[in-house]
A = this chain, B = another copy of it.
Amino acid sequence: MGVHHYFKSLSDLEKLFRCPGRFKYHEHSVASHSFKVTKIAQFLGTVEEEHGEEIDWKALYEKALNHDYAEIFTGDIKTPVKYASEELRKLFSQVEEEMVTKFIEQEFPPQFQDIYHNRFKDGKDDTIEGRILSVADKIDLLYESFGEIQKGNPESLFFEIYQEALSTILKFQEMHCVQYFLDTILPDMLAEKFIPHSQLNDITNKIIDDSQK
């Protein structure tokens, strides 16, 4: 029993990989995904605040940091399985919740249990912080799939992920931060230069010529 087990569990999240076996060029652990989502949520919250929205930063950070913690107990269940039927989905959520509850009651001293029950609740609710989390989670997924597509991974899976992530982001397009993302960040991502191998010849000749002037 003890917080030691909780601290130790954090490093299990470093070893839990997303979509195991599919990322060819860059694997992503649940730990580093959680970090990136929190940093993206931080930026999105800043955009909202600039537009006059009020952000409960403590809540936003808690939601983002903990949003995938339960994967320690359940492992990587493929999405189609999870959503195969409404009944199965509900049962899975219930089991997940019971496992988290059991963990908190076993490992945390009583005075901290309520706080952690709250922190480990599903954070994607209708509050502005919950919606920012939903968007940030998908922006990171978009970047992860873009990283594979850009390097030439031919698996159509990453196109499906890209499309699904973008479609989910668009469901929140009334938010200031989503507008900012669509107007300012996404175009830069898509405009990334890719200097093909075939231009090496020209570049090389130009450098040699220049050196001889």
Provided the pairs A200-B190, A211-B173 are in contact, do residues A73 and B65 lie with their beta carbons within 8 angstroms? no
> How many copies of the shown chain assemble into the complex?
6
Chain A contributes a number of interface residues (CB within 8 A of B) equal to 103
A3 close to B43 (CB less than 8 A): yes
Q: Can you name 23 A-B pairs with beta carbons within 8 Å?
A: A11-B144, A15-B21, A20-B75, A34-B35, A39-B65, A42-B62, A57-B57, A57-B58, A73-B78, A74-B78, A75-B81, A81-B92, A85-B91, A150-B154, A151-B153, A151-B154, A152-B152, A152-B197, A154-B194, A162-B200, A167-B207, A170-B207, A190-B204
Residues of chain A whose beta carbon lies under 8 Å from any beta carbon of chain B: 2-8, 10-17, 20-22, 24-26, 28-29, 31-32, 34-36, 38-40, 42-43, 46, 50, 57-58, 61-62, 65, 73-78, 80-81, 84-85, 87-88, 91-92, 95-96, 98-99, 109, 111-112, 115, 119, 139, 143-144, 146-147, 149-154, 156, 159, 162-163, 166-167, 170-171, 173, 182, 184-186, 188-190, 192-195, 197, 200-201, 203-204, 207-208, 211-212
